[in-house]
Every structure is written in C-alpha cells, then in structure tokens.
Amino acid sequence: MNETMKTILNHRSIRKFKDQPLAEQEIEQLVHAAQMASTSSYIQAYSIIGVENKQTKAELATLAGNQPYVEQNGHFFVFCADLYRHTVAAEMEDLEITPAIESTEKFMVAVIDASLAAQNAAVAAESLGLGICYIGGLRNEIEKVSELLQLPEYVIPLFGMAVGVPDAETDQKPRLPLENVYYKETYPNEKQKVQQGLENYNETISAYYHDRTDGKRSDRWTEQMSNMLKTPRRMHMKDFVQGKGFMKS
C-alpha cells in the first residue's frame, strides 16, 4: 500500500497535543495543500483564519463547548465559506452578482469548496506526522465566533481544525460497512435492506464499545445517532446563515 493510502486509512481524530507550535513553514505547507484541492469553476470560495493568540483560542474553546484541545494545540485553523472576495471582484469589474451569491446553490458551492480544502490540509498534516481534530463545535455559538474573527458579510465559519503533535493514542472507530455506504447504480429501494445493514453495523459497534470498556458500554450506532438527533441543536443556523447574506433564494 502506498504512503498516501496508509496515511488516509490510519486517520484518527487527536484531542491531546504536545505544547509545540507549528512552524510557519508547516502552516504554509498545510494552507498550500488546502488550496490545491479542486474548486468549483475556479471560484475558491473559502478563507482560512489561523489563530495563535492565546486569548482568542481560549475564547474559541469556551464557545465550542469547553473543548480544551481548541486552546491547547500546535495551531488552530478556522475554515470559512467566503463569497465576500467575489463582491470585491464584482465591484472592480462593475458587475452585479448579488442574486447569484445569495443563492442556495452558491452557498453549497462555498461549503463544498471549503470542505475539500480542509480535508486536503488534514491529510497533509497527517502525512507530516501531525494530528488533527475537526471542531464543529464552533457552530454552537457561530455568531460570536464570527464576531471574534471579524468576519464580514458573505463569510461564515464552518468548522475549526486543531492541529499539532499528537500526545495521546486514539482508537479508530469502525465505519459503516462499505455496502451500507456505497451503492451500485441506484439507491436501494427497500428500507429493509438499509435496516439490515444497520443491524449488522450495530453488532460491530456494540462489540467495539464492549471490548474497550470492559463490558461497561455496548451502544448501538442507531441508538447513539437517534439519541443525538432527538434533540435538535444549533437551530439558530438558518437565521445566521441568511443574516450573513447566504441562501436567501
């Protein structure tokens, strides 16, 4: 197996880092890697904020729900969907682009662009021996995160990424069986098939938790997901996103 496949298949989220800041050159390598991801029609609809300031990191950690690794890491990135740059471009060209950038389509383009870039940075970081953890918790208090980073209209923080030298071993959680994620030709038209797959997966997951907790836990995946989803969270999102100018039509 080649080194890249090994890196990708060996991924695990790291939540404890050594107190060792990334070198400027490493940060640039990661951003460069991010930028080389595909981008929809060359639009490059994202920005990356790099946070080193200790106070800002501490505030972000609190806003993300007291996650210590948001504060303690080698570097903290915030990936943002960004169409603000394009409003400046349009002003330079004296053209009107508001209806386009306020569309749901272009919101999706920006979210996808930013995510592809982020995953390149993640793989690049891991190839350099660093660990990473995505921080969706920034969306808990997305308005405050946005203010803290001084994001203008048409820019929203999607997620953070803590990067650094790993200081703890982490397990790799088993993913859904391939046949329950990858479908040939069409989506399975029988709910029974999907359910059967989830029942099989539940057994795998229960055994996984059982093994690593000496029998104290045996969660099913369907149980974890349903318990998480029974309480809607971050219901401020639509207002926030639209307030920033996105997804109006």
Q: Which of residues 26-65 bind its own copies (CB under 8 A)?
A: 27-29, 31-38, 40-44, 46-53, 56
Question: How many residues lie near its own copies (CB under 8 A)?
Answer: 121
Instruction: Write each residue from 108 to 147 as x if it is in contact with its own copies (CB under 8 A), else as -, in one continuous string.
Output: xx-xx--xx-xxx-xxx-xxx---xxx-x--x--------
Which lies closer to its own copies via its Cβ, residue 190 or residue 214?
A: 190
Regarding 85 and contact with its own copies (CB under 8 A), the answer is yes
Pick the binder of its own copies from 25, 169, 216, 232 (CB under 8 A): 232
The DSSP bridge pattern shows strands 155-164 and 46-51 to be unpaired
Helix (H, G, I), strand (E, B) or coil at 28: helix
Regarding 104 and contact with its own copies (CB under 8 A), the answer is yes
Regarding 103 and contact with its own copies (CB under 8 A), the answer is yes
Which lies closer to its own copies via its Cβ, residue 4 or residue 20?
A: 4
- Name the region of 173 (left: φ>0; alpha: ψ -120 to 50; beta: rest): beta
Quote the least distance from Cβ 246 to its own copies, whole Å: 10
Please give the residues from 183 up to 212 whose contact with its own copies meets the rule CB under 8 A.
183-187, 189, 191, 194-195, 198-199
Contact 90, 76 (CB under 8 A): no
Regarding 4 and contact with its own copies (CB under 8 A), the answer is yes
Which lies closer to its own copies via its Cβ, residue 93 or residue 214?
A: 93
Report the C-alpha gap between 245 and 188 in whole angstroms: 37
Pick the binder of its own copies from 90, 143, 206, 210 (CB under 8 A): 90
Burial of 249 (0-12, 13-18, 19+ CB in 10 A): exposed
Buried b (16+ CB within 10 A) or exposed e, 135-171: bebbbbbbeebbebbebeebbbbbbbbbbbbbbeeee
Closest CA to 40 of 93, 153, 116, 122: 116
Which lies closer to its own copies via its Cβ, residue 62 or residue 116?
A: 116
Contact 72, 102 (CB under 8 A): no
Report the C-alpha gap between 173 and 188 in whole angstroms: 25
Please give the residues from 151 up to 180 whose contact with its own copies meets the rule CB under 8 A.
151-152, 155, 158-159, 172-173, 175-176, 178, 180
Regarding 235 and contact with its own copies (CB under 8 A), the answer is yes
Which lies closer to its own copies via its Cβ, residue 2 or residue 169?
A: 2
